[in-house]
Amino acid sequence: MNKNFWRQMVVLVVIVVFFNYLYLVMAPKQQEPATSISYSRFKAELERDNIEQLVFQGQGMSGRFREAVVIEPSGAVVEETGYLNFETVLPPVPDPELLPALERHDVEIEARQEEQPSPWTSALIYILPWLLIIGVWWFILKGMRNRQGPGGGLMGGFSKSGAKLYLQQRSPITFKDVAGLDEVKQELLEIVEYLRNPKKFARIGGKVPRGVLLVGPPGTGKTLVARAVAGEAEVPFFSISASQFIEMFVGVGASRVRDLFNTAKKSAPSIIFIDELDAVGRSRGTGLGGGNDEREQTLNQLLSEMDGFEPHEEVIVMSATNRPDVLDTALLRPGRFDRQVFLGRPDWRAREEILQVHTRRVPLAEDVDLRVIARATPGMCGADLENLVNEAALLAAREDAEQVAMIHFENAKDRVLLGAERKLVLTDQEKRITAFHEAGHALLAKLSPDADPVHKVSIIPRGRALGVTQQLPENDRYHYPRSYLMTRITVSLAGRAAEKATFGEYSTGAEQDLKEASELAEKMVCQWGMSDKVGPLTFDRGEEHPFLGRKLAISKTFSEQMTWIIDQEIEKIVKGAEEQADRLVAGHRKALDRLAEALLEEEVLDGPRIDAILTAAGISLPAEKPIAGDQPAVEG
Ligand code: ADP
Ligand code: MG
Ligand code: ZN
């Protein structure tokens, strides 16, 4: 019998017993409906010879009339049909006339003992609530134990059997499943070699790192790489997420670390993988939200376990984090996680490889060119690309298509980048405003040689935006020249400029544009030293808190005067860009109108179509410089 079966049985029994109990306690001894009458009424009925049967039970009497009796309402409902049964209570003073009267009227008499619940029932009534309370308590505990993983319970043995908690497996994933990341794989190959043949390393006297820390943004394949190392080395892989260490009870975290290391040592050579290390590995004593003793104990235990390896214990500790900056420095000391491996966002070649890996089992149509997709998805990480392939396959499936075609990828990309299409009913005027707004972005992006090429413009509402101008860089880029940034701000403001030029006023549609323009300008001044007055200084004006959505108060380290200058410089940049946008829009009215009209007509314009419209409007476009950003530029 497996555990589950018994658990279900127990639940069943508890439920059945519970309802029986309820029944026992609550349910009245159900007979036919009886009416309560007074003793004198009873006597009256007796005199009328209308009592057929009578049962004595303690102080109570119940019985049956010969004919149904309609009880006069004492404010209650009148029963038309009357009652055949009644109950009443004997008066405390003995009534010597009663028995003779009963006999005279030929009443059938029965006497019962006052009802005593059987000893069993009373025992049950007494015990059951306790049983229930204990049962519930037991289940809650059980639940906790399960959340900690089987065996890691409160009551005893959690340090003994805790090992089951860790996902021990021989990983089916190998380096073949990891695309790109060639340097990372190269670096980890050494560890694979060691795990495969530890003796060899020992003979040569080579020293292999004990701890490897994988560092990189979310979704870049850290977890994947760790599993691939285990798969390549063909050794057991003990994986746990650091947050699991400190989940429930005080003191468990540290003992879990101990367990984990002991178990891994027993099955050496093996790999321990602690995912999301920052959950326990944050610097001690500086915990935001109060110090966390539990976490610190766990961390201390982890540190001492990592120090405590004997040379012959062939266990590699791998770990992953996307916040290396918050890790306790003690973790990075030699002998611990002294080897750090960085996983960056993939460049387009790596993206193509990742797409190849994830489309292995997807039937692709002829027209699908993974390279084109890879180039059009700057800034996406492995997890995003996997998601993209998935979305495309879903879209194809929804259309009952046999194969996933390029159009599915294109739509999936828009979905992932911009959100799902929305069925919004816009008035004609709203549509016109949106069309001119987007045409403004597109026109200026086309006119500026520095800007990223325009991939497409659309006035189909998506996500939070009513329309979108999508610029995609040709190549991934790691530097942004000032001219590029200025152009970007100008293009951001162009939607607004076009609205103003056409309708004479601004609308709220440019909120996101303004935000982007101001933020970029602020960064140019405060972080990148791109303004004359402020010069090559950096200022922390407060970062937006990722969860609160507002800036955290920071201690200001610069003067009021500098604040004023910074504000001036930011304003200068944004105002300058605005003037430039206004000037360009005014100088190309005809082209703007043509673009907007085409947008209203066709809703979506791709790059070549835009070129055609602009050329027809008599504009000679600057030769496109392949400049690229790491992030796709999207103007709402
Ligand atoms: P991280 O742990 O860095 O947040 P994961 O390893 O969990 O990221 O990656 C999430 C998913 O993204 C993986 O399961 C994998 O399918 C995909 N992925 C990420 N990077 C790659 C890559 N380089 N090659 C193939 N797939 C990848
Ligand atoms: Mg991960
Ligand atoms: Zn806009």
Phi, psi of 542 (to 5 degrees): 95, 130
Percent of the chain with pLDDT strictly greater than 90: 20
Domain identity same for 463 and 606: yes
In ligand 1, the atom with minimum distance to the C-alpha of 275 is 2
CATH number at residue 247: 3.40.50.300
β-bridge partners, 470: 456, 634
35-44, 81-90, 548-557, 595-604 — most confident range: 595-604
Q: What is the mean pLDDT of the chain?
A: 80
Q: Which one-letter amino acid corresponds to residue 6?
A: W
Q: Does 569 lie in the same domain as 489?
A: yes
Q: What mean pLDDT do residues 159-177 have? A: 62
| Type of residue numbered 3 | K
* Residue 546 in this model has a pLDDT that exceeds 60: no
Distance, in Å, from the CA atom of 52 to the CA atom of 66, rounded to the nearest integer, reads: 5
- Which domain CATH number covers 402? 1.10.8.60
Query: What DSSP line would sit under 449-462, residue for residue?
Result: TTSPPEEEEE-S-B
- The reply to whether 132 falls in a domain is no
Residue 186 has pLDDT above 80, yes or no: yes
Instruction: Please tell me the distance from the alpha carbon of residue 264 to that of residue 281, in angstroms, as a whole number.
Output: 20
pLDDT class of 155 with cuts at 50, 70, 90: very low
Closest-approaching ligand to the CA atom of 511: 3
- 142: pLDDT strictly greater than 50: yes
Q: What pLDDT digit, counting tens, does each position of 5-34 carry? A: 777 788 888 888 878 877 776 665 555 677
Q: Is 214 in the pocket of ligand 1 (CB under 6 A)?
A: no
Say which of 314, 391, 438, 499 is annotated catalytic.
Answer: 438
pLDDT at 12 (0 to 100): 83
Q: What percent of the chain has pLDDT over 70?
A: 83
> For the segment 444-471, what is each residue's pLDDT rounded down to a tens digit?
999 988 888 888 898 888 777 888 888 8
Distance 438 CA to ligand 2 centre (A): 38
Q: 453 and 408: one domain?
A: no
The residue whose C-alpha atom lies closest to atom 5 belonging to ligand 1 is: 221
Give the pLDDT confidence score for residue 308 in this predicted structure: 77
Range(s) of the domain holding residue 456 = 428-616
Rounded Cα–Cα distance for residues 327 and 70 (Å): 86
Atom 23 of ligand 1, residue of closest alpha carbon: 179
Q: What is the pLDDT of residue 629?
A: 43
Section 243-259 average pLDDT: 71
Instruction: Please enumerate, as own/partner, the contacts of 120-126 that have beta carbons within 8 Å and a separation of 24 or more.
Output: 121/24, 124/21, 124/24, 125/21, 125/24, 125/25
- Residue 186 sits in the same domain as residue 303: yes
Query: Of 26-35, 375-384, 605-614, which has the strongest mean pLDDT?
Result: 605-614
pLDDT band at 544 (very low <50, low <70, confident <90, very high): low
Helix ranges, 176-288 (H): 182-196, 198-204, 222-233, 242-245, 252-266, 278-281
Contact between residue 401 and residue 368 where contact means Cβ atoms under 8 Å apart = no
Instruction: Verify whether ligand 1 is closer than 6 Å to residue 224 (CB atom).
Output: yes
Number of domains making up the chain: 4
Q: Chain centroid to CA 130: how far?
A: 39
CATH number of the domain enclosing 448: 1.20.58.760
**Beta-sheet pairing, 167-169 with 60-69:** unpaired
216 to each of 39, 222, 231, how far by Cα in Å?
89, 7, 21
Which run of H or of E encompasses 321?
strand 315-321
Given a cut of 90, is residue 584 above it in pLDDT? yes
Phi, psi of 97 (to 5 degrees): -80, -15
Question: Which residues share a beta bridge with 85?
Answer: 34, 64
Identify the residue whose tokens are 């100088």: 587
**Exposed / middle / buried, residue 490 (Cβ in 10 Å: 0-12, 13-18, 19+):** buried
pLDDT tens-digit profile of 470-514? Answer: 887 776 677 889 999 999 999 999 999 999 999 999 988 888 899
**206 and 74 part of one domain:** no
Tens of pLDDT along 105-122? 888 888 877 666 677 777
CA 110 to centroid of ligand 3, rounded, Å: 94
Residue finishing a domain among 321, 342, 363: 342
Rounded Cα–Cα distance for residues 517 and 219 (Å): 28
Report the nearest-CA residue for atom 11 of ligand 1.
Answer: 383
- Reported as a pLDDT band with limits 50, 70 and 90, residue 156 is very low
Residue 69 pLDDT exceeds 70: yes
Query: Is 354 a pocket residue for ligand 1 (Cβ < 6 Å)?
Result: yes
Residues 196 and 170 occupy one common structural domain: yes
The answer to which of 159-168, 271-280, 375-384 has the lowest mean pLDDT is: 159-168
* Residue 151 CB burial class (10 angstroms; 0-12, 13-18, ≥19): middle
In a domain, residue 13? The reply is no
**218 within ligand 1 shell (Cβ under 6 A):** yes
User: Within this chain, do residues 471 and 556 fall inside the same structural domain, yes or no?
Assistant: yes
Please say if the pLDDT value at position 238 is more than 70.
yes
CA of 278 to the centre of ligand 1 (A): 19
Instruction: Find out whether the beta carbon of 438 lies less than 6 Å from any atom of ligand 1.
Output: no
For residue 125, how far is the Cα from the chain centroid?
46
Ligand 1: which atom is nearest the Cα of residue 180?
Answer: 23
237-241 and 633-635 as β-strands: parallel, antiparallel, unpaired? unpaired
Q: Among all ligands shown, which has an atom nearest to the Cα of 441?
A: 3
**Quick check: 529 pLDDT over 70?**
yes
Angle at 631 between CA 628 and CA 635, to 5 degrees: 95
- 80 Cα–ligand 3 center, Å: 79
The larger pLDDT score, comparing residue 626 to residue 293, is at: 293
Q: How far apart are CA 455 and CA 528, in angstroms?
A: 28
Question: Alpha-carbon distance 491 to 581, whole Å?
Answer: 7
Question: What is the pLDDT at residue 79?
Answer: 54
Q: Among the three residues 392, 417, 442, which one is the final residue of a domain in this structure?
A: 417
Average pLDDT over residues 230-246: 80
Residue 522 sits in the same domain as residue 375: no
**178 alpha carbon to ligand 2 midpoint, in Å?**
14
pLDDT at 439: 95
CA distance 517 to 636: 12
Least confident of 147-156, 330-339, 503-512, 608-617: 147-156
Q: Would you say the CB of residue 229 lies under 6 angstroms from ligand 1?
A: no
Determine the Cα–Cα distance for residues 147 and 309; give it in Å rounded to an integer: 30
pLDDT recorded at residue 595: 94
Contact criterion met (CB below 8 Å) for 263 and 310: no
Q: Which residues lie below 8 Å from residue 552, measured CB to CB, with a gap of 6+? A: 542, 543, 545
C-alpha torsion angle, residues 393, 397, 398, 400 (rounded to 10): 140
Do both 605 and 464 map to the same domain?
A: yes
| CATH at 83 | 3.30.720.210
Residue 526, in any domain of the structure: yes
| Pairwise CA distance, residues 514 & 521, whole Å | 10
580 lies in the same domain as 432: yes
Across 49-55, average pLDDT: 87
275 found inside a domain:
yes
- Looking at residue 525, its amino acid is V
**Mean pLDDT for the stretch of residues 132-139:** 84
Q: Is 505 a catalytic residue?
A: no
Is pLDDT at 59 greater than 90 in this prediction? no
In this predicted model, which residue has the larger pLDDT, 165 or 300? Answer: 300
* Nearest bound ligand to the CA of residue 228: 1
* pLDDT class of 635 with cuts at 50, 70, 90: low
Residue 631 CA to ligand 3 centre (angstroms): 17
Q: How far is CA 487 from CA 471, 574, 588, in A?
A: 12, 11, 17
Quick one: 243 and 303 in the same domain? Answer: yes
Q: Report whether residue 221 contacts ligand 1, using a CB cutoff of 6 Å.
A: yes
Lowest mean pLDDT among 62-71, 148-157, 236-245, 276-285: 148-157
- pLDDT(95) > 70: yes
Q: For residue 479, what are its two tokens?
A: 């530097």
Task: Please tell me the predicted confidence (pLDDT) of residue 160.
Answer: 39
The verdict on 381 and 312 lying in the same domain is no
Rg of the chain over CA atoms, in angstroms?
40
pLDDT (tens digit, 9 = 90+) per residue, 279-320?
Answer: 777 776 654 545 567 777 778 888 888 887 777 778 888 999
